[in-house]
Amino acid sequence: MKTRFQDTYQRIASEDAPTEEEIKIALATLAGAWDQVAASFSAAMGDPETRAQLRRAAGSLASALTATVSGLAEDIRSRDDDQPADHRT
């Protein structure tokens, strides 16, 4: 038995649904765009300075994530310390 939501979704989807040809064109466009991104990335990684900048950026991101996680852990520990002993898990 269908729900009202399913009926509404199917009605709207059938009215606005792309044709099979439109879906094929969209997928071909996405595949072409992905190929361009991959080719650009591959070319950029051939440059030693670009690789060095990417390593520095990745290191900065890792440091920021580490600081964030450490800060959250400290915040959780301090909250746990503030709770009465009978409410700690």
pLDDT tens for each residue of 10-37? 777 776 777 888 889 999 999 999 999 9
- Tell me which of 66 and 20 has the higher pLDDT: 66
Q: Is the pLDDT of residue 45 over 70?
A: yes
List phi, psi (to 5°) of 86: -75, -5
Domain boundaries, the chain: 20-83
pTM comes to 0.43
Question: How many other CB atoms are there within 10 angstroms of residue 54's CB atom?
Answer: 14
pLDDT score at 28: 95
